[in-house]
Amino acid sequence: MIDTHAHLLYFDDVDEIINSMESQGLENIVTIGTTVEDSADSIALAEKHKNIYATVGIYPEYSNLTTEEDLKKLKELAKHEKVVAIGEIGLDYHNEVFDAEAQKKLFIQQLEIADELGLPFCIHCRKAVSDLYEVLSTHKHLIKYGGLMHCYSEGAEWVKKFIDLGMYISFSGNITYKKSDRSFLKDIPLDRIVVETDAPYLSPEPRRGKENRPEYVKLTAERIADELEMSYDEFDKIVTKNAKRFYFKIKNA
Ligand SMILES: [Zn+2]
């Protein structure tokens, strides 16, 4: 099992998490960047630990603070051997005040970096699905190294559209919540599903509301396996294979 999306820098006891990975059945954790600074820190963590990989990216909400210099730095960071994707990038219209144009510009600039370096990318999308889809569908040529919808929560209505663009669909703890629609899970091609925690956020049931940790990715996977009428082991094999195909720079000895 691989936790394809966690924020390890937000934990005080990172060492404990990493030391217990093996006993928790976790092969890898991908820790996600949201600024130039924490992207650099994520790489530093990945350098220290064989099983940890990093992504580098600038979160949409920082679009107005981002300079050309930041993008240059990000591109340099992205060339590191343990950087497996650009992310999380995308659009977030959740705040009352947001600059959609600045967010789209930064999003496309980072899609271009991913393409130029031959890396896949991880998408963050909140309350912005139609604009996000529009950007991706008008920049299909930038998806050739793979894209992933992190913490997918756009429901049945959009899933086929993103799949048709070639995107992977990643689920975190919120898919386990009572009111979540799980009816469309069976419509997703099995080679496009991955799982993640987004730890320390979005703890799956029955830990909802408490701090999330990478090992709880299993709770989310169990719930989805259930829905697909599959054993956990069978589903684990599928999502692990998918995660390694997507993050093709992950190399386990
Ligand atoms: Zn995240």
pLDDT for position 119: 98
CA 35 to ligand 1 center in whole angstroms:
12
pLDDT for position 28: 98
Q: Please, are residues 213 and 204 in contact by the beta-carbon 8 Å criterion?
A: no
CA 191 to ligand 1 center in whole angstroms:
22
| Residue 120 token pair | 């896949």
Domain 2-246 sits in CATH at 3.20.20.140
CA 54 to ligand 1 center in whole angstroms:
12
pLDDT for position 253: 61
pLDDT in tens, 143-170: 999 999 999 999 999 999 999 999 999 9
Model pTM? 0.96
CA–CA distance, 34 with 136 (Å, rounded to integer): 20
CA 223 to ligand 1 center in whole angstroms:
20
Long-range Cβ pairs for the range 237-244 (8 Å, 24+)? 238/190, 238/191, 238/193, 239/1, 239/2, 239/193, 239/194, 239/195, 240/1, 240/2, 240/27, 241/191, 242/168, 242/191, 242/192, 242/193, 242/194, 243/2, 243/4, 243/28, 243/194, 244/2
Q: What are the backbone angles phi and psi of residue 3, rounded to the nearest 5°?
A: -85, 110
CA 121 to ligand 1 center in whole angstroms:
13
Q: Which of 182, 133, 126 is nearest to 155 (CA)?
A: 182
CA 212 to ligand 1 center in whole angstroms:
12
CA–CA distance, 221 with 39 (Å, rounded to integer): 27
CA 8 to ligand 1 center in whole angstroms:
10
CA 218 to ligand 1 center in whole angstroms:
17
pLDDT for position 10: 96
Amino acid at 10: Y
Residue 90's Cβ-count burial label (10 Å; 0-12, 13-18, 19+) is buried
- H/E stretch holding 83 reads strand 83-92
What residues are neighbours of ligand 1 (ion), with CB under 5 Å? 198
Buried b (16+ CB within 10 A) or exposed e, 35-57: bbebbbbbbebbeebebbbbbbb
Question: Average pLDDT of each block of 10 consecutive residues along the chain (253 residues)?
Answer: 98 96 97 98 98 98 96 98 98 95 98 98 97 98 97 95 98 95 96 98 93 97 97 98 98 76
pLDDT in tens, 211-245: 999 999 999 999 999 999 999 999 999 999 999 99
The string of DSSP letters for 100-147 reads HHHHHHHHHHHHHHHHHHT--EEEEEES-HHHHHHHHHT-GGG-TT-E
- H/E stretch holding 194 reads strand 193-195
